[in-house]
């Protein structure tokens, strides 16, 4: 009989953590004074403005520090906080209240709260997630006015599993180094800030556990599995042993790493298979290399666009791509152009309400319709290509016409760069085969590209008409279905005829049971999340 509480949520960052629980439940910050007298209005306005300046300075320092250590995405979060702190509407709202004799700390808390409620009420997932950010910024200003920091998470003094309703980015960076073993969070999704930060800090995290977290706040010990997406509160000895066992397995797998780290792998028949990584940010490059990635088979660029309120500029994209390509030296890095829509919304772009977003305006469809979005990305990629072995691929393509349209825009970008005298390099072009249409038309597309990369996640969902996020359809979420295998086989056949190579960058590439089947069908590159690399290299060498 199990005697513990289990919290189930979203697998936000993989790894196992077992340790003392630290419940971080910041109390609502209370203003020291509600009202002020008329003769100090001028002084209090000054104190508010000084507090804003101090908070902006701290936030900017944090952003600069993150940027220097390669955390471009996280730095963007703090840039956005600076903008919130400097927001003219926030200022005029607070100053008006101070003139009406409310204390500045009470005014900034209440105006921040109203802004937060307004954000929380929007339908837009990104904007509603910003409610916490604006609340956080207002609290920081209020705490500054009251002459001190909001004491809390920075007091953590022994390595612990942090339990919280939410963790604002300012909380995460305030955790003393080495004191967080992992996170269990009530709110959030895989793309919320706490998840992004956890992955870049290499800490296991389960988010979105909901109200069940309340039952865990008094826990002494918590064990969590960030790959499976669950945590156990006050686990019994048997459960602790099973988590320790999992930890040992992960460590054993890490030991394999040494053996395969620098090695290229071949099947016993001598077929060379490239094992490369899927990454979502420049910060993941180092970890992928350490785990033995022979390159990047899929750089999902959308996170660069989603982690912040405005679109990244061409220059910011260039920097992010350059960093990755440089880290990989001669090794290939395949950058996938923006693939939002479906389950991924893009802040800063007016996306239509769609009845079936997965069958809607996503991937290359959106890029072709919005050159103002597409061209800066293509220009940044062409420029970054001067620093290494960079390739480009287009997502959600359904036929050769779409590919040609995309190539035309790429050609325009080349010409523009040439006319401006900017340095750039040629890039090989590939297409993701993730719609049944692309697999069926593979013979038409193949002569016009250098490679195919099969996105099994979408290929499965579109072939089997089974939403990739629907828990009840798990049985249908496998590449090991005759219809899917047949489309993969057809794609490989077309590629062979045209003399180009085929990779797989969907989850199937890292599934031990699928590896031999994909290789048998003719796939020669497998791209997966970095932790799966040593395991897959081992399987290939034994084939
Ligand atoms: C895929 O569809 O298999 C794929 C790799 O793309 P994403 O998961 O980003 O849609
Ligand atoms: Mg896809």
The ligand 1 atom nearest the CA atom of 506: 3
- Taking a C-beta distance cutoff of 8 angstroms, is the pair 428, 450 a contact? yes
Residue 174 has pLDDT above 60, yes or no: yes
Q: Helix 104-120 and helix 41-68: axis angle, to 10°?
A: 50
Kindly name the residue from 413, 441, 492, 505 that is annotated as catalytic: 505
The span from the CA of 52 to the CA of 58, in Å, is: 10
pLDDT, position 471: 62
CB of 302 closer than 6 A to ligand 1? no
Residue 254 has pLDDT above 60, yes or no: yes
Average pLDDT over residues 397-426: 98
- Each residue's pLDDT tens digit, 352-386: 788 898 899 999 999 999 999 999 999 999 999 99
Q: Is there a catalytic annotation at residue 262?
A: no
- Each residue's pLDDT tens digit, 12-57: 888 999 999 999 877 667 888 899 999 999 999 999 999 999 899 9
CA atoms in the 13 A half-sphere facing the CB of 228: 13
CB of 506 closer than 6 A to ligand 1? yes
Cα distances from 79 to residues 57, 71, 169, 198, 317, in angstroms, run 11, 12, 11, 19, 16
The span from the CA of 385 to the CA of 378, in Å, is: 11
Which of 191, 434, 491 maximizes ligand 1 atoms within 8 Å of its Cβ, making it the mutation to test the pocket? 434
Residue 192 has pLDDT above 80, yes or no: no
* DSSP string of 417-472, one letter each residue: HHHHT------EEEEEE-SHHHHHTHHHHGGG-SEEEE-HHHHHHHHTT--TT-GG
CB of 457 closer than 6 A to ligand 1? yes
**pTM beyond 0.85:** no
User: For 160, phi and psi rounded to 5 degrees?
Assistant: -145, 160
CB of 363 closer than 6 A to ligand 1? no
CB neighbour class for 510 (10 Å; exposed up to 12, middle 13-18, buried from 19): buried
309 alpha carbon, distance to own chain's centre? 15
Q: Is there a catalytic annotation at residue 481?
A: no
Q: What's the pLDDT band for 200 if we cut at 50, 70, 90?
A: low
The span from the CA of 46 to the CA of 48, in Å, is: 5
Ligand 1 centroid to Cα of residue 527, in Å, is 11
Bridge partners, residue 180, by sequence:
160
- Reduced to 3 states (helix: H, G, I; strand: E, B; else coil), residue 489 is helix
Residue 473 has pLDDT above 70, yes or no: yes
CB of 456 closer than 6 A to ligand 1? yes
The ligand 1 atom nearest the CA atom of 455: 3
Residue % of the chain over a pLDDT of 70: 94
Closest by Cα among 493, 481, 484, 486 to 463: 484
Ligand 2 centroid to Cα of residue 398, in Å, is 12
Place of tokens 């300075």: 57
How many of the other CB atoms lie within 10 Å of CB of 208? 20
The span from the CA of 266 to the CA of 416, in Å, is: 42
pLDDT, position 353: 83
Q: Give CA angle at 39 (37, 45), nearest 5°.
A: 85
| Total number of residues shown for the chain | 543
- Each residue's pLDDT tens digit, 377-402: 999 999 999 999 999 999 999 999 99
- Taking a C-beta distance cutoff of 8 angstroms, is the pair 33, 43 a contact? no
Pair of tokens at residue 49:
């403005």
Q: What's the pLDDT band for 479 if we cut at 50, 70, 90?
A: very high
Which has more pLDDT, 454 or 120? 454
- Reduced to 3 states (helix: H, G, I; strand: E, B; else coil), residue 8 is strand
Average pLDDT over residues 116-133: 76
- Reduced to 3 states (helix: H, G, I; strand: E, B; else coil), residue 291 is coil
- Taking a C-beta distance cutoff of 8 angstroms, is the pair 246, 227 a contact? no
pLDDT, position 61: 85
Ligand 1 centroid to Cα of residue 11, in Å, is 17
pLDDT, position 293: 94
The span from the CA of 75 to the CA of 65, in Å, is: 8
The span from the CA of 275 to the CA of 530, in Å, is: 10
User: For 389, phi and psi rounded to 5 degrees?
Assistant: -100, 85
pLDDT, position 283: 78
Residue 183 has pLDDT above 50, yes or no: yes
The span from the CA of 23 to the CA of 21, in Å, is: 6
How many of the other CB atoms lie within 10 Å of CB of 486? 13
Residue 3 has pLDDT above 60, yes or no: no
* DSSP string of 500-516, one letter each residue: -EEEE-SGGGG-TTTHH
pLDDT, position 256: 73
- CA-based end-to-end distance of the chain: 42
Domains in the chain, CATH or no CATH each: 3-27+151-237 (3.50.30.10), 38-145 (1.10.274.10), 275-541 (3.20.20.60)
The span from the CA of 430 to the CA of 59, in Å, is: 41
Which has more pLDDT, 3 or 524? 524
Which of 281, 334, 395, 438 maximizes ligand 1 atoms within 8 Å of its Cβ, making it the mutation to test the pocket? 395
Give Cβ neighbours of residue 281 (< 8 Å, ≥ 6 apart).
72, 73, 196, 200, 303, 304, 320
Cα distances from 200 to residues 70, 206, 218, 287, 376, in angstroms, run 10, 14, 28, 9, 26
Ligand 1 centroid to Cα of residue 505, in Å, is 7
- Reduced to 3 states (helix: H, G, I; strand: E, B; else coil), residue 224 is strand
Write out the H or E segment, with its range, that includes residue 390: strand 389-394
Which of 191, 280, 300 maximizes ligand 1 atoms within 8 Å of its Cβ, making it the mutation to test the pocket? 300
Give Cβ neighbours of residue 7 (< 8 Å, ≥ 6 apart).
184, 206, 209, 212, 213, 215, 216, 230, 231, 232, 233
Which has more pLDDT, 122 or 324? 324
Kindly name the residue from 81, 91, 193, 262 that is annotated as catalytic: 193
Average pLDDT, the chain: 89
pLDDT, position 1: 42
- Each residue's pLDDT tens digit, 531-542: 788 889 989 988
């Amino acid at each position: 009989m199990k005697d513990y509480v289990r919290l189930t949520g979203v697998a936000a960052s993989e790894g196992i953590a077992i340790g003392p629980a630290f419940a971080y439940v910041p109390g609502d910050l209370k203003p020291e004074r509600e009202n002020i007298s008329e003769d100090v209005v001028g002084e209090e306005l000054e104190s508010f403005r000084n507090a804003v300046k101090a908070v902006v300075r701290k936030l900017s320092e944090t952003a600069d520090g993150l940027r220097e250590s390669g955390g471009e995405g996280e730095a963007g979060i703090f840039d956005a906080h600076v903008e919130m702190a400097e927001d003219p509407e926030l200022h005029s709202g607070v100053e008006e209240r101070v003139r009406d004799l409310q204390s500045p700390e009470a005014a900034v808390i209440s105006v921040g709260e109203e802004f937060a409620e307004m954000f929380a009420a929007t339908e837009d997932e990104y904007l509603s997630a910003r409610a916490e950010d604006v609340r956080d910024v207002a609290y920081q200003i209020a705490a500054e006015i009251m002459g001190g920091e909001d004491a809390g998470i920075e007091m953590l003094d022994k390595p612990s599993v942090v339990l919280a309703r939410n963790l604002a980015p300012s909380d995460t960076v305030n955790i003393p180094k080495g004191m967080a073993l992992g996170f269990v969070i009530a709110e959030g999704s895989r793309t919320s800030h706490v998840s992004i930060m956890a992955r870049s800090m290499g800490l296991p995290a389960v988010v979105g556990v909901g109200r069940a977290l309340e039952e865990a706040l008094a826990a002494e010990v918590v064990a969590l599995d960030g790959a499976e997406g669950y945590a156990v509160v006050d686990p019994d000895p048997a459960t602790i042993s099973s988590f320790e066992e999992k930890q040992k397995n992960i460590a054993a797998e890490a030991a394999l790493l040494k053996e395969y780290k620098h090695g290229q792998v071949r099947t016993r028949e001598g077929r060379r298979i490239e094992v490369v990584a899927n990454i979502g940010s420049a910060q993941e490059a180092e970890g992928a290399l350490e785990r033995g990635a022979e390159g990047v088979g899929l750089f999902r660029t959308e996170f660069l666009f989603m982690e912040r309120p405005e679109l990244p500029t061409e220059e910011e994209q260039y920097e992010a791509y350059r960093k990755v390509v440089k880290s990989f030296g001669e090794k290939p890095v395949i950058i996938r152009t923006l693939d939002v829509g479906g389950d991924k919304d893009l802040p800063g772009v007016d996306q239509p309400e769609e009845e079936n977003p997965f069958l809607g305006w996503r991937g290359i469809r959106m890029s072709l319709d919005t050159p103002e979005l597409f061209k800066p990305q293509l220009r940044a990629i062409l420029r970054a290509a001067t620093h290494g072995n960079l390739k480009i691929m287009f997502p959600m393509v359904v036929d050769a016409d779409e590919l040609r349209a995309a190539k035309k825009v790429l050609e325009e970008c080349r010409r523009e760069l040439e006319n401006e005298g900017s340095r750039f390099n040629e890039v090989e072009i590939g297409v993701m085969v993730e719609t049944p249409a692309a697999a069926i038309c593979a013979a038409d597309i193949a002569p016009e590209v250098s490679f195919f990369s099969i996105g099994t996640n979408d290929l499965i969902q579109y072939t089997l008409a089974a939403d990739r996020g629907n828990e009840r359809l798990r049985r249908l979420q496998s590449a090991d279905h005759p219809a899917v295998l047949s489309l993969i086989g057809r794609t490989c056949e077309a590629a062979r005829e045209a003399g180009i190579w085929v990779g797989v960058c969907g989850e199937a590439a890292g599934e031990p049971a699928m590896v031999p089947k994909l290789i048998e069908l003719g796939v020669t590159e497998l791209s997966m999340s970095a932790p799966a690399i040593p395991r897959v290299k081992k399987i290939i060498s034994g084939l």
